[in-house]
Amino acid sequence: MVRENPFDRDSAALMHGVRVVSPYVGRIQAMFRAMRDPVLETFEDVRPVTRQKVGDCISQIDDVYVNDAYNSLSIEGYRVSFDLVRRIRDGQWNPEGDPQDRQQRDAMAAKGYLEAFTLVKASVRTVLSGVEAAEVAGSQYQGWYGALFSATVSSGLLEVSRLAGHRDGPVYIRNSKHVPPRSAAVTDCMEALFECLQAESSPVVRAVLGHMLFGFVHPYFDGNGRLARFLMNLFLVTGGYPWTIVRTERGDVYLDALESASTRGNIKPFARFIREEMDVDWSRQPSRRKGTR
């Protein structure tokens, strides 16, 4: 039996001069309200550290970059190594002089990740200087998205016009029963999400639900997972929590938890998962051993 998506219906853009917003907006708002308390309960005994100096915070973010990039890209199916991530970070990727570098899809993804990560750090600085976090995220996430694919555009494999605005067609998530909102609803959904985030006072609620609902809307054809994790970490680190990395070896648990939230409305597995990943001490991980940075 074919199941009908009740939100997948055309509606008039104007009614008596007033724009009709997508019914998905109410769903985003309702999900945020329903999921807020379970997230708070999961993190009720986790306390943020005293706000650090901006330089110290950025230094700690830089310290986990290699592990962050390796895991975030690997979860998305890119075949990267710690060495590749380091070479690109250290400016040793040469697409102009080395045809192999220029054509390597994984290297281009890693280069784009570095560019986006740099912009996210700038966003962190802005928030720590006193600008409201959700306002910064809402105004800058599309710039992060463009940076993710900067190397692909530079190589000529992607037209820059493809990075303008949100997706303009349907998108499907591999191995998931969740079907994201139709493209005509995406902008309304993103506005609703950031309105919810701006009204929220808890950094962990912003982080967990910002991540989950960004993926629920899936505003782009590609890059949504990486952007959702950037969004999560912007809220965490500016709220006094550690930059949290989703380990690729726990990718199945991660995706199952997101599936539970998206299709069954159960946010608890995802909140517990993020809390568990938050507890990892990345100073003890292999890529941080002396001489490997």
User: What are the pLDDT digits (tens) for 18-36?
Assistant: 556 678 899 999 999 999 9
Q: Please report whether residue 45 resides in a domain.
A: yes
Residue 6 above 80 pLDDT? Answer: no
pLDDT of residue 3: 43
How many Å apart are CA 124 and CA 136, to the nearest integer?
Answer: 9
d(CA 206, CA 133): 10
Instruction: Tell me the average pLDDT across 250-269.
Output: 98
Query: Does a structural domain hold residue 162?
Result: yes
Q: Which pLDDT band holds residue 187 (cuts at 50, 70, 90)?
A: very high
Whether 7 maps to a domain, the answer reads: no
Asked whether residue 293 is assigned to any structural domain, the reply reads no
Examine residue 4 and state whether it is found in any structural domain, yes or no: no
Task: Let me know if residue 3 belongs to a domain.
Answer: no
Total domains, the chain: 1
Whole-number pLDDT of residue 100: 54
User: In this predicted model, which residue has the larger pLDDT, 88 or 10?
Assistant: 88
Distance between CA atoms of residues 165 and 142, nearest Å: 8
Q: Are 200 and 134 in contact (CB under 8 A)?
A: yes
Tell which residue, 163, 141, 144, has the closest CA to residue 152.
163
Q: Model confidence at 99, in pLDDT bands (50, 70, 90)?
A: low
The predicted structure's pLDDT at residue 231: 98
Indicate whether 2 pLDDT > 80.
no
What number is the average pLDDT over the span 242-263? 97
Average pLDDT, the chain: 88
Going by pLDDT thresholds of 50, 70 and 90, the confidence category of residue 49 is confident
Residue 1 lies in a domain: no
Secondary structure (3-state) at 212? helix
pLDDT winner (highest mean) among 18-22, 122-126, 280-284: 122-126
Q: Is the pLDDT of residue 122 over 70?
A: yes
CA distances for 234 relative to 87, 176, 244, angstroms: 25, 26, 10
Q: State the residue range of the domain holding 101.
A: 15-288
Give the CATH number for residue 61. Answer: 1.10.3290.10
Residue 224: is its pLDDT beyond 80? Answer: yes
Does residue 169 form part of some domain? yes
Of residues 127 and 102, the one with the higher pLDDT is: 127
